[in-house]
């Protein structure tokens, strides 16, 4: 067990070879996405930067030769949708320290991505390590240390027409919420996980990770991606915004379907790159 506190660094939405389509969708949803970036591992992305976290559309460009394609086979085989829950570590040497305390974390790997700032190009550098535990049945759970956070969290990239300011809820549908609950306790301590209606929650900085029964997820979000029998799936994401009623007007003006489910204004998976995307206070 580690003494690391859970904090969401960013969330990943896998889009495969449909980066252009996903970018168009998220622009209609009111995000001011960054220009396309290309990692040294072969993947490409667009980001929506928020106050302390961000959303990543991750895929690949057909015809672009990946530098390490064998290490990113998931980009070619994973179903589209919410696929990455990424936590913020507290120091560059986090992976070894977590393993020394018995946490199921793999070796760290380093990579970079050029970032254009006006006429200048600089390399944003990252260090990631995946959680290696069979409790993770869908997508990836990993840690990401930013060697150059100033090349990610830039003020000019934090302003979005929809007024989104950060991740509110990362939702995993599970018939056995305790499976992920046990993993989170191993990573973040025995008191890190709390019971909530229909499952468990992990407070994670300004957001919350929810592991909920499928029926409860359906009540809160309506349509979500289908689950395989007996398996968990990352299915929904809620984002904090200044005024959901103004987001509703923006979405309607852009021809986007949005349905009110309690406190959440929810866009269905077909219009949000394969996940239920909600806006809330």
Would you state the pLDDT for residue 71? 57
Q: How far apart are CA 48 and CA 25, in angstroms?
A: 13
Give the pTM: 0.95
Would you state the pLDDT for residue 67? 47
Would you state the pLDDT for residue 77? 73
Structural domains of the chain sorted by starting position, each given as residue range(s) with its CATH number in brackets? 8-157 (3.10.180.10), 164-279 (3.10.180.10)
Q: Quick one: which of 53, 49, 58 has its CA closest to 80?
A: 58
Query: What is the dihedral sign for C-alpha 81, 242, 251, 56?
Result: negative
Intervals of the chain under pLDDT 70 = 1-2, 65-73
DSSP letter for 224, please.
-
Contacts for 33 with CB less than 8 Å, ≥ 6 apart: 23, 26, 27, 46, 47, 48, 57
Q: Note the pLDDT tens digit of each residue in 141-178.
A: 999 999 999 999 999 999 999 999 999 999 999 999 99
Would you state the pLDDT for residue 70? 52
Residue that the structure tokens 């390590």 belong to: 129
Would you state the pLDDT for residue 78? 78
Q: How far apart are CA 210 and CA 174, in angstroms?
A: 10
């Amino acid at each position: 067990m580690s003494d690391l506190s859970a904090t969401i660094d960013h969330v990943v939405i896998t889009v495969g070879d449909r980066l252009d389509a996903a970018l168009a969708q998220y622009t209609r949803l009111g995000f001011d996405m960054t220009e396309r970036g290309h990692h040294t591992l072969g993947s490409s992305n667009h980001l929506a930067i928020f106050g302390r976290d961000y959303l990543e559309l991750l895929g690949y460009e057909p015809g672009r030769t990946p530098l390490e394609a064998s290490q990113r086979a998931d980009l070619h085989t994973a179903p589209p949708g919410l696929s990455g829950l990424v936590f913020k570590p507290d120091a560059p040497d986090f992976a070894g320290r977590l393993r020394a305390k018995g946490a199921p974390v793999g070796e760290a790997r380093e990579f970079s991505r050029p970032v254009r700032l006006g006429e200048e190009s600089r390399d944003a550098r990252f260090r990631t390590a995946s959680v290696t535990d069979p409790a993770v049945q869908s997508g990836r759970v990993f840690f990401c240390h930013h060697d150059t956070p100033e090349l990610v969290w830039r003020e000019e990239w934090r302003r979005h027409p929809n007024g989104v300011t950060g991740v509110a809820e990362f939702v995993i549908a599970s018939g056995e919420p305790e499976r992920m609950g046990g993993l989170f306790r191993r990573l973040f301590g025995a008191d890190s996980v709390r019971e909530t209606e229909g499952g468990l929650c992990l407070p994670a900085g300004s957001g919350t990770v929810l592991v909920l029964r499928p029926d409860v997820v359906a009540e809160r979000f309506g349509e979500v991606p289908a689950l395989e029998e007996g398996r968990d799936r990352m299915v929904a994401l809620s984002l904090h915004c200044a005024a959901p009623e103004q987001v509703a007007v923006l979405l309607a003006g852009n021809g986007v379907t949005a349905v009110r489910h309690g406190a959440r204004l929810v866009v269905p998976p077909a219009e949000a790159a394969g996940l239920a995307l909600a806006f809330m206070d």
